Amino acid sequence: MRLKTLPSEFQKALPILSKIKESGYEAYFVGGSVRDAILERPIHDVDIATSAYPEEIKKIFSRTVDVGIEHGTILVLEEDEEYEITTFRTEEAYVDYRRPSQVHFVRSLKEDLKRRDFTVNAFALNHTSEVIDLFGGLKDLEEKTLRAVGDAKERFNEDALRIMRGLRFMASLGFSIEEKTLAAMIDNTFLLERISVERIFIELDKLLMAPFWQKGLAQLVSSNVYQFLPELKNSKKQLEVMLNDLPFHFHFESSEQAWAYLLISLNTKTIKPFLKQWKTSNDFQKTVENLVTVYQIRLEREISRQDVYRFGKEIIKQVESLREAKGLSFNYDKIVEIDRQLTIHNKREILVNGSQLMALYQLEPGPKLGKLLSEIESQMVAGHLDNTEDAILSFVERRLAGE
């Protein structure tokens, strides 16, 4: 088949393909971007594969960076854009179920595409917009099926992360997994324990943020993949709660919201230790923890001025969207109104600081000064004190006089 319209991302990169072809080599757009072009989905990364070896690419282009030359990848800098160009290659046995022990550069496109994970990711697109489909990927796209290229067991044994990628593609595309491919995935789930947590997190995070996340998560549960993921062993019932408690049309607004709801469904009390097992950042852990805390607060009472000040309106609005999805009461307008009424949104906004109070009233650093600053902050949050120098100093003088 030939694409009726070549996406602008490919059009911009056509001169790269032309330069390589003019030098006597083959060059194609490959991978997921070709699949997305066929499906008329947004394109993210433009990957180029070529019969030219890395040193040959470096002779064709004047500005290059050796980003992964040992695996055949050269970064080409052209017209303020960056393009990763990878030589056709075959791979030796995988030593850790993730990386090949050795790669061999080849001149054959078919040999290169044979090592791809799924048929819908094994397309190539040439400079005339013709789709090259050597493994039945177009038929699988039409039937909305994920099928491994070649021997499914071999593909997952080579790279166990492909199990998570398959579930993620299922969630992002809404496809089903072909029977033999699914069986091979299930047979190799134990290999996920040998894959880095960081890589698994990326795939699970993308799954949760995908439009068909419930479909991907349901397959993750039914195929027992969850048993080999950090902190999720023996959590089938809780994951099913997560699947059943939100309507099918619900999409998470952020990764933090998705993971917060996962933790809520798991009824996990130790948020940070759980997320540390997933090697997440401190900022991510703090935001997720705040979302879970606000969710618990809302089960007991309405949101207060102090809550909006402490957690911020965006965190609380994400909790309200979860409540709305679950059919619980919600009130976005109230949150916006409270936020608008707040005198300050951060203590750094207070117009008088500790150093000024020390100078004006001969105060020493310590608990007394700390308590005074906390009182100023809490009075402002409560709406009892204006954020002006006169009002603050008058309040301080009254406090000091009352001691």
For 144-183, list the strands marked E by DSSP.
145-146, 176-177
pLDDT at residue 94 greater than cutoff 60? no
The mean pLDDT of 238-258, rounded to a whole number, is 95
According to the model, what pLDDT value does residue 264 have? Answer: 97
3-state secondary structure of 380: helix
pLDDT at residue 97 greater than cutoff 60? no
pLDDT at residue 99 greater than cutoff 60? no
Q: How confident is the model at residue 100 (pLDDT cuts 50, 70, 90)?
A: low
Which pair of structure tokens corresponds to residue 148?
């491994």
The full set of domains in the chain, from first to last, is 1-137 (3.30.460.10), 144-229 (1.10.110.30), 233-342 (1.20.58.560), 347-401 (1.10.246.80)
- Decide which of 288 and 403 is more confident: 288
The mean pLDDT of 367-379, rounded to a whole number, is 95
According to the model, what pLDDT value does residue 101 have? Answer: 53
According to the model, what pLDDT value does residue 80 have? Answer: 86
Q: In percent, how much of the chain has pLDDT > 70?
A: 97
The mean pLDDT of 59-77, rounded to a whole number, is 93
Which pair of structure tokens corresponds to residue 242?
């997560």
According to the model, what pLDDT value does residue 103 have? Answer: 81
Q: What is this structure's pTM?
A: 0.90
351-367: per-residue pLDDT in tens?
A: 999 999 999 999 999 99
Is 136 annotated in a binding site? The answer is no
- Contact indicator for 258, 208 with CB cutoff of 8 Å: yes
Distance (Å, whole) CA 151 – CA 51 = 25
> Which long-range contacts does 28-32 make (Cβ < 8 Å, 24+ apart)?
28/109, 28/124, 28/125, 28/126, 28/132, 29/124, 29/125, 29/126, 30/112, 30/113, 30/123, 30/124, 30/125, 31/116, 31/121, 31/123, 32/121
Torsional sign, CA 380, 385, 388, 392: negative
pLDDT at residue 153 greater than cutoff 70? yes
Choose among 306, 274, 273, 307: nearest CA to 291. Answer: 307
According to the model, what pLDDT value does residue 95 have? Answer: 55
155-173: per-residue pLDDT in tens?
A: 999 999 999 999 999 999 9
Is 159 annotated in a binding site? The answer is yes
According to the model, what pLDDT value does residue 191 have? Answer: 95
Which pair of structure tokens corresponds to residue 221?
């549960």
Could you tell me which residues come within 8 angstroms of residue 146 by beta carbon, excluding any fewer than 6 positions away?
118, 120, 140, 166, 169, 170, 173, 175, 176, 177, 178, 181
According to the model, what pLDDT value does residue 48 have? Answer: 97
According to the model, what pLDDT value does residue 98 have? Answer: 52
Is 140 annotated in a binding site? The answer is no
Choose among 116, 105, 202, 113: nearest CA to 155. Answer: 116
Per-chain mean pLDDT for the chain = 94
Is 194 annotated in a binding site? The answer is no
The mean pLDDT of 371-388, rounded to a whole number, is 96
- Contact indicator for 229, 196 with CB cutoff of 8 Å: no
The mean pLDDT of 174-186, rounded to a whole number, is 97
pLDDT at residue 400 greater than cutoff 60? yes
Is 147 annotated in a binding site? The answer is no
Distance (Å, whole) CA 304 – CA 41 = 43
According to the model, what pLDDT value does residue 79 have? Answer: 84
Which pair of structure tokens corresponds to residue 387?
């954020």
